[in-house]
Amino acid sequence: MNTSDLIQPRHLARRAVIYVRQSSPNQVINHQESQRLQRALTQRALEFGWQEQDIQVIDADLGITGTLAQCRLGFQELVAEVALGKIGILLAYEAQRLARNCTHWYQLLDLCGHADCLIADRDGVYDASTVNGRLLLGLK
């Protein structure tokens, strides 16, 4: 199945959210290319069919370690918005950057699967509600 086949009108009716994160203040200052690449996912969302006004960038967790979810206000916002069914697709430069431990990662996958929220990274688009999607995301 072509990754664009996963994106349905029901997904496009909700927001596309790009989650931007770097783990330390040093990375934020000295690795600005990483931020540029993550923010460039806005263009990918446009190519997938989202309108500019329906794309949100969450970058509240710049310079904050991903180890503890309670310290990442942007991650908390993201999880809440997914749970409320407001997000059609969640984009991250690398999917594994969304969560830094298995507990948070698999909880997010479960939530996305139940809320019909797709996950995309630079390699593809995944549906966490399907066996194939969960397998691929689990390997990441």
34 is catalytic: no
Catalytic residue among 4, 23, 24, 129: 23
User: Could you give the strand order of the β-sheet that contains 125-126, starting from the edge strand earlier in sequence?
Assistant: 55-58, 15-19, 87-91, 118-120, 125-126
What residues are labeled active site?
A: 23
